[in-house]
Amino acid sequence: MTQNSLSAVIIGGGPAGLMAAETLALTGVRVDLYDAMPSVGRKFLLAGVGGMNITHSEAYPAFVSRYGERQGQVDELLQGFDADALRAWIHGLGIDTFVGTSGRVFPTDMKAAPLLRAWLKRLREAGVHLHTRHRWLGWNDDGSLRVGTPEGERAVHADAVLLALGGGSWPRLGSDGSWVAHLQRAGVPIAPLQPSNCGFDVATWSPLLREKFAGAPLKNVALGLSGEAQRQGEFVLTATGIEGSLVYALSAGIRQRITRDGSCTVHLDLLPQRSEDALSKALSKPRGSHSMAKHLHRQAGLDGVKAALLRELTAAEHYADPQRLAASIKALPIELRQPRPLEEAISSAGGVPFEALDKGLMLTVLPGTFCAGEMLDWEAPTGGYLLTACFASGRVAGQGIARWLRTKNR
């Protein structure tokens, strides 16, 4: 059997599936890609709203550390396609990139759509066949794929299959986690899907805080977990708790502590640029006839949502003690009770464990079936890390399929 008579089916048209399609098509394998949505790359496009953060420019040791408990496995994926390789690949599509002040990498025009259009053009020219509004429904008894189409269900046969179905977040864009049941019935172990890069709820905010400050950003602050270094950035106060980039960066640790202890207390530094001693001295100055709110504004620059949150979470007697008040400003405790629902999360943790896959990302209990992307059991903060690993895993899976097909058909 010749290489170009072999066929592979890819289920899922996100970055991992599309990258696997390109990798395979370049080997001469016929590739048919199926996606349940009316068009491919829908989550990719929405992630690019407000600026397409494609990857990050930080040094590799720091970069790979962002994958936490799974950094060893993700490191293996990135060895063949790291952030620099991803940027070079994007440049090959005719899209320039730049590094922002935060170290994040963006297309020059900050948009996802031109990149996706150029990529799809390349894929079609390479012979990849795209089938939208085609939903995978599991397997038939003969091992063929059950695929729901606008004209009804049909059986699809292929020499190899890649599942790149995303996690369980943003279900309206196709990542609904419905694949979990199909794989479990086939004997594949699945780590439960959990929200990642998500907001968290407190027990309750006061009506005043909720009604006046829900949606207000807290900028130039630092947030941290007990026993860990704080991170600086910003987040948003919500009607039920907190969310935003600084919270997302800590979401894995917060979620794990909630699972272990039932709740998790994070500590907020409202003024990371000022020391506790300097604040204590400033707040010790006589305030005369000024209100405490005015005194905090004059001596510490605290007002608005920062002052309101300090009032919400600080005992009244601390306001009479400058030293204790300064300590509260520098380490304001926020007790978080639960993550927001999975469908609200930017990404998900859990999925197919690497232990159920070989080095080419093939399921050991289902030879010829591969997995890639967010449906694998790993997580990372926002900042380009999610996309980079999705691209890299798609490339590894595509290479794995090509090797398996060559070995199978010798």
Per the domain annotation, does 320 fall within a domain? yes
CA gyration radius, the chain:
25
Least trusted range by pLDDT, from 170-179, 331-340, 381-390: 170-179
Domain residue limits at 325? 200-339
Per the domain annotation, does 1 fall within a domain? no
pLDDT tier, 2 (very low <50, low <70, confident <90, very high otherwise): very low
Question: What residues have CB less than 8 Å from 339, skipping those under 6 apart?
Answer: 194, 195, 198, 199, 200, 201, 251, 254, 255, 258, 345
Single pTM value for the model: 0.91
Residues 82 and 150 in one domain: yes
The yes-or-no verdict on residue 116 having pLDDT over 90 is yes
Task: Say what the pLDDT of residue 4 is.
Answer: 55
Per the domain annotation, does 2 fall within a domain? no
Mean pLDDT of 100-108: 93
Per the domain annotation, does 64 fall within a domain? yes
| Boundary of a domain, candidates 309, 339, 369 | 339
Pairing mode, strands 30-35 and 129-132: parallel
pLDDT tier, 289 (very low <50, low <70, confident <90, very high otherwise): confident
Segment 187-241, tens digit of pLDDT:
999 999 999 999 999 999 999 999 999 999 999 999 999 888 899 999 999 999 9
Mean pLDDT of 124-134: 97
Q: By the 8 A CB rule, do 7 and 29 touch?
A: yes
Query: Mean pLDDT in the chain?
Result: 94
Q: By the 8 A CB rule, do 287 and 296 touch?
A: no
Q: Give whole-number Cα distances, 120 to 128, 212, 312, 362, 369, in Å.
A: 9, 46, 51, 25, 24
Residues 33 and 150 in one domain: yes
Mean pLDDT of 147-168: 96
Percentages helix, strand, coil for the chain (3-state, rounded to 5) are: 40, 25, 35
Residues 206 and 154 in one domain: no
**Cα-Cα-Cα-Cα dihedral of 278, 284, 287, 288, to 10°?**
-150
Residues 73 and 134 in one domain: yes
Residues 298 and 374 in one domain: no
| Boundary of a domain, candidates 339, 355, 390 | 339
Percentage of residues of the chain with pLDDT beyond 70? 99
Mean pLDDT of 119-125: 97
Residues 191 and 214 in one domain: no
Per the domain annotation, does 160 fall within a domain? yes
Segment 181-201, tens digit of pLDDT:
999 999 999 999 999 999 999
The first and second tokens of residue 127, run together, are 């012979």
Residues 352 and 282 in one domain: no
Segment 35-83, tens digit of pLDDT:
999 999 998 888 777 789 999 999 999 999 999 999 999 999 999 999 9
Per the domain annotation, does 287 fall within a domain? yes
Residues 131 and 216 in one domain: no
Residues 23 and 162 in one domain: yes
Give the whole-angstrom CA distance, residue 28 versus residue 10: 15
Per the domain annotation, does 318 fall within a domain? yes
Q: Give whole-number Cα distances, 238 to 97, 208, 317, 331, 345, in Å.
A: 33, 13, 27, 20, 14
Give the whole-angstrom CA distance, residue 146 versus residue 149: 10
Q: By the 8 A CB rule, do 318 and 310 touch?
A: no
Task: Say what the pLDDT of residue 1 is.
Answer: 41
Residues 81 and 97 in one domain: yes
Residues 82 and 147 in one domain: yes
Percentage of residues of the chain with pLDDT beyond 90? 85
How many folded domains does the chain comprise? 2
- CATH code at position 98: 3.50.50.60
Residues 129 and 156 in one domain: yes
The yes-or-no verdict on residue 171 having pLDDT over 90 is no
| Boundary of a domain, candidates 320, 339, 358 | 339
Segment 130-146, tens digit of pLDDT:
999 999 999 999 999 99
